[in-house]
Structure 1
Amino acid sequence: MTLEPLLTAPLAVQIHVATVLPAAVIGAFLLLWRGKGTPTHRFLGKTWVVLMFASSLSSLFIHELNVWRGFSPIHILSLVTILGCLYAVRAAMRGDIRAHRRTMTQIYVGGILIAGGFTFAPYRIMNRVVIEGSTAWQLVLLTSLVFGPWLVLHWAQRRTRRARPA
């Protein structure tokens, strides 16, 4: 593992990584934490939205994948994430907690877990940062960090669905 590819990356990439990593941790915590609607939840939620907004904005200036005139499907995801954050915040303010929860979960899964997983493809910067030159144990740790939150979220949602009366 080496930080050299990240330290020499364009500023937009550095900002993106600096905002998306804490957003991944805070988002997983918020989705799994039972204290919904508390002042802590609202504070961390606002922090998460700001981080996701900054991450999405910075990704609009990353053009490593050139599908069409410097843009790629990830840029569409960035716009969808920005709009989704605005919608989810508005839903919470209206008291539509169901729409808020659904939208925030979709943003986390699509914007953090799925898009984040693609950053480890062989030709990407995060692949060079984390995977190249890593030992088998480091790769196992990476895999658990990437897929662990998804598994925990999936398990928690299944458990919640079973606990609700029909």
Structure 2
Amino acid sequence: MFIAIHALAASGVVLLAPVQLIRRTKDRKHRWIGRSWVILMYFVCISGMFIYTLSGSFTVFHALAIFTFATTTIGVISIRLGKVRRHVSMMVGSWLGALAAGTFAAIIPSRDIPQLAVAEPGLLWGAVAFVVIAATLWVGYVLRFVPAQARISSNSGFLRKKSMT
């Protein structure tokens, strides 16, 4: 079960990040998609801690999950403090780490993804289609129906920098 949660959430992480990077405006829609991306990333990190299929013990993937959890959290705190560059670097770094880990998980023959592709290709492609459709519907909903205007006060919110006036 943890493998399924991990794979589905990781697929969502991989698909949502380019939307955040491509969109020019960083508005309420960016925050909605970003919050869903962070939740999915936390699902990836936490579920990854319960997967022990390679050796039955702690692996480099577990260390990556802990590191990614930390960098994602630092990214969230950074934007709340107004540190945009740190936020961008932490979030892009977390996404690139997820891409790298996913690539290695997909190309190592003893891992579950290649085995599933051979044993049950319909299930694998069905799961891929489900995630792509779900991510597309979510992004479409947010971009179409969530108002773009920013907050009334730029200093409101948890951990937001206080105004110097």
- TM-score normalised by structure 1 residue count: 0.68
| RMSD of equivalent CA atoms | 1.9
Equivalents in 2 of 1:129, 1:26: separation in Å?
24
1:29 aligns with 2:19: yes
The alignment partner of 1:119 has SS state of helix
- Alignment correspondent of 1:51: 40
Q: Which shifted more, 121-130 or 82-91?
A: 121-130
In structure 1, what is the Cα distance between the partners aligned to 2:112 and 2:104? 11
Provide structure 2 residue ranges, at least 5 long, that are not aligned to the other structure.
126-165
Q: Does 1:73 align with 2:60?
A: yes
- String of CA shifts for 1:30-68, please: whole Å, max 9, x gaps: 1222122x00000110000000001110000000122xx
Native 8 Å contact 2:20 2:33 kept in 1: yes
Distance in 2 separating the partners of 1:119 and 1:87: 25
Cα-to-partner distance string for 1:57-96 (whole Å, 9 max, x where unaligned): 0000000122xx6110110110011111110000000110
Q: Is the contact between residue 54 and residue 111 of structure 2 (CA under 8 Å) also seen in structure 1?
A: no
**Does 1:129 find its partner at 2:119?**
no
In the TM superposition, structure 1's runs of 4+ consecutive aligned residues that sit over 4 Å from their partners are 131-134
How many pairs are equivalent?
Answer: 121
In 2, Cα distance between the equivalents of 1:95 and 1:32?
21
| Cα 1:132–1:31 shift into 2, 3 Å | farther
- What percent identity do the matched residue pairs reach? 26
Name stretches of at least 5 consecutive residues in structure 1 with no aligned partner: 1-10, 139-166
**Counterparts of 1:116 and 1:53, CA distance in 2:** 15
Alpha-carbon spacing, 1:133–1:14, altered in 2? closer, same or farther (3 Å):
closer
